[in-house]
């Protein structure tokens, strides 16, 4: 704890990786042990939260699509306020802070407020889930491009460059898209991807609760294989998904 008139503490914007604590970076693990306060997201797994020392203050800033626990400007304000009180503020985010993590917005707020910061990268869900399910995201014979795509609707529309996404020879990784899976499949087929293109949906990847469903564009368009689809699944589309079986 610091008195209000000393210089502000540092905010560490840290990626927690996809869930398995063994996939934390050494730097993230060290900062977890040293931080005065941890501000964490809904995506941070219970296994990782268990590594926070009991005496460390915790602030939950979890977000769920359409059910914001704390709106983003409120999180930004809270980080600035905590930096006035503590020496080391750890802002812990699922995966990597700069991959669909709104890390850029939080940094901009810290810079504007003159708060020192550091960014610690994390293993993003696309990379972690590919490893834990045995799907090589690139492959000499099947995919020379991999794209990380948001499947979250902005202003009602799934406003993406579908002709580019439907091009042959790439792997698509959709974040926050499980609920929109049939619509994603419909658009990809309409723009030319074969109906037989395999896909996998991974939930709670890299944790003991990991679930994987495999399907094809045509089948998943007709029927979302995740009956109570939340936005927390990750979708991998491309011929590389078929390599899992081998
Ligand atoms: N910054 C995070 C992504 C935040 S967006 C990262 O780099 O991974 C939230 C989306 O990430 C979820 O909707 C889901 O698509 C994906 N996600 C995060 N962790 C996941 C996990 N363990 N298993 C499957 N998907 C995950």
pLDDT digits (tens, 9 = 90+) for 17-71: 999 999 999 999 999 999 999 999 889 999 999 999 999 999 999 755 555 567 8
Active site residue 63: yes
pLDDT score at 158 = 87
- 131-173 per-position pLDDT tens digit: 999 999 999 999 999 999 999 887 777 889 999 999 999 999 9
CB 25 within 8 A of CB 5: no
Nearest-atom index, ligand 1, CA of 18 = 22
Nearest residue to 240 via CA among 117, 121, 87, 135: 135
Could you tell me the distance, in angstroms and rounded to a whole number, from the CA of residue 84 to the centre of ligand 1? Answer: 30
Q: Are strands 211-216 and 234-237 parallel, antiparallel or unpaired?
A: unpaired
- What is the edge-to-edge ordering of all strands in the sheet holding 117-120? 57-60, 37-40, 88-93, 10-15, 117-120
Nearest-atom index, ligand 1, CA of 96 = 7
pTM assigned to the model: 0.93
Under DSSP, is residue 150 helix (H, G, I), strand (E, B) or coil? strand
pLDDT for residue 241 is more than 60: yes
Lining residues, ligand 1, CB within 6 Å: 18-19, 43, 93-96, 99-101, 124-125, 129, 175-176, 202-206, 231-234
Nearest CA to ligand 1 atom 12: 232
Could you tell me the distance, in angstroms and rounded to a whole number, from the CA of residue 175 to the centre of ligand 1? Answer: 6
Nearest CA to ligand 1 atom 18: 125
> Within 10 Å of residue 22's Cβ, how many Cβ atoms?
8
- Between 67 and 106, name the one with better pLDDT: 106
Alpha helices in the chain (DSSP H): 26-34, 46-49, 72-85, 103-112, 125-133, 162-165, 181-190, 217-222
- 192-234 per-position pLDDT tens digit: 999 999 999 999 999 999 999 999 999 999 998 876 666 689 9
Active site residue 88: no
pLDDT score at 236 = 98
């Amino acid at each position: 704890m610091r008195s209000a008139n000393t210089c502000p503490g540092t905010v560490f914007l840290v990626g927690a990786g996809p869930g398995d604590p063994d996939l934390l970076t050494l730097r993230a693990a060290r900062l977890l042990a040293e931080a005065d306060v941890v501000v964490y997201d809904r995506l941070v797994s219970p296994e990782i939260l268990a590594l926070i020392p009991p005496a460390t203050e915790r602030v939950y800033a979890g977000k769920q699509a359409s059910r914001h626990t704390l709106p983003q400007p409120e999180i930004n304000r809270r980080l600035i306020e905590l930096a006035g009180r503590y020496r080391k503020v750890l802002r812990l985010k699922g995966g990597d802070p700069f991959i669909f993590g709104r890390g850029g917005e939080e940094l901009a707020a810290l810079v504007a407020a003159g708060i020192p910061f550091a960014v610690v990268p994390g293993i993003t869900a696309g990379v972690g889930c590919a490893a834990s399910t045995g799907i090589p995201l690139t492959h000499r014979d099947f995919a020379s491009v991999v794209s990380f795509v948001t499947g979250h609707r902005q202003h009602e529309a799934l406003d993406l460059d579908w002709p580019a996404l439907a091009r042959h020879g790439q792997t698509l990784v959709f974040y926050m898209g499980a609920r929109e899976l049939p619509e994603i499949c419909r658009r990809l087929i309409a723009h030319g991807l074969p109906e037989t293109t395999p896909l996998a949906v991974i939930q709670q990847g890299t944790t003991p609760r990991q679930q994987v469903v495999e399907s094809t564009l045509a089948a998943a368009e007709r029927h979302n294989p995740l009956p109570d689809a939340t936005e927390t699944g990750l979708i991998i589309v491309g011929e590389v998904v078929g390599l899992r079986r081998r």
